[in-house]
Structure 1
């Protein structure tokens, strides 16, 4: 568990479309751009070793902007390739809300953030009392067949509810705005309901017709 007192007011932010990180989940990253190599090396020098993942989006006039809510992960594992790239694993710590970007000083983006409202993220794993696993896995099986995806179904049957829902939220090929909706879900139950809605929508081929049962 990450102590709330160790959460910094300023973190580097890494805009990566479609890359979702959630609390207590893990996200692998492949870093090769010089600015992000610098970000990683600077992060290792800090006591918290946090990097804030965030979704970019098109603002007014097509100008690139960042969503206000992201999720910070702690560097827990990394390896360096012979040509200077890094393979990094981030372990999700807490979501945050951006207050403002910090201009200048580094080649990568940094922001002042607040962790208020996300206190549950640094606590114990969430539960979902309304989770109907057999019904959910049946729906998921249809979705994976439609998307030509493979998985270890035995492990899904036994996985902790939070690990299962969060891992699928991160791994399923949803659009960036759909990933943002999963990130901003206020509870595990809401995230599971959002995940089901997105899967059903994909099975309809993006139409509003009733899903065949």
Structure 2
């Protein structure tokens, strides 16, 4: 089953893709990411995407220096080679000129090359989706053996960050939806979120998520160094 009508294979996906480098922000296939767009370069990017295929690639800077340069329009920090392409599935404009959009993840990609900027204020890459063709098919099998335990652990982690979670929708969610939602909202570092993105499949992502959660809880209770680099 294809992720979107009209996108039956990776050959249907755009051959060029605007990218939005944003540290600590994760987009995964079939998951929704709300974004508040206000910088002029990204307002232009969204406007151009809406006139074309409505697709944007989410990536993360791969260095601490790159994370610090996110708000510099002239900076082009290096980014991780793997990101996720999303389709704009909701769009609205505000009275003060912002754009509120929702990106729905379609397929991960590897960056082949970055194109010269030309007169565009945002960055454009050539993506290779071939290693991630399985992203276009939903995962329907059971992955989690202890959903309630995982949610209890996340309650502890959120509480340590002064956050609270509402799990009212979790009961009816598929394992894929729950794993991806937890990965996206987790208060983990950009490096750790990249590990979740690059997990080979959903089962591996669940294992990485559980390992990161165990590490976070151990640090909270006693203190051990992080192992995801």
Alignment partners' CA distance in 1, 2:144 and 2:36: 37
Alignment partners' CA distance in 2, 1:29 and 1:40: 11
RMSD after superposition: 2.2
Q: 2:51 maps to which residue?
A: 45
1:4-83 equivalences in 2 (<5 Å): 4=9, 5-46=11-52, 48-58=53-63, 64-83=77-96
> Could you state the TM-score of these two structures normalised by the residue count of structure 2?
0.83
Alignment partners' CA distance in 2, 1:147 and 1:61: 25
Q: Are 1:23 and 1:95, in contact at CA under 8 Å, matched by a contact in 2?
A: yes
- Give the CA deviation at 1:55: 0.6
| Aligned structure 1 segments of 4 or more residues deviating by more than 6 angstroms | 59-63
Alignment partners' CA distance in 2, 1:60 and 1:144: 27
Higher strand proportion, which one? Answer: 1
* Residues 156 and 59 of structure 1, relative CA distance in 2, 3 Å threshold: closer
Residue ranges of structure 2 left out of the alignment (5+ in a row): 68-75
Alignment partners' CA distance in 1, 2:162 and 2:175: 24
Alignment partners' CA distance in 2, 1:61 and 1:196: 28
The reply to whether residue 112 of structure 1 matches residue 126 of structure 2 is: yes
SS at match of 1:99: strand
SS at match of 1:56: coil
* Residues 60 and 26 of structure 1, relative CA distance in 2, 3 Å threshold: closer
SS at match of 1:87: strand
Q: Are 1:72 and 1:94, in contact at CA under 8 Å, matched by a contact in 2?
A: yes
Alignment partners' CA distance in 2, 1:190 and 1:73: 22
* Residues 77 and 61 of structure 1, relative CA distance in 2, 3 Å threshold: closer
Residue ranges of structure 1 left out of the alignment (5+ in a row): none
* Selected match of 2:188 from 169, 174, 187: 174
> Could you state the TM-score of these two structures normalised by the residue count of structure 1?
0.89
Q: Are 1:59 and 1:65, in contact at CA under 8 Å, matched by a contact in 2?
A: no
Q: Are 1:128 and 1:189, in contact at CA under 8 Å, matched by a contact in 2?
A: no
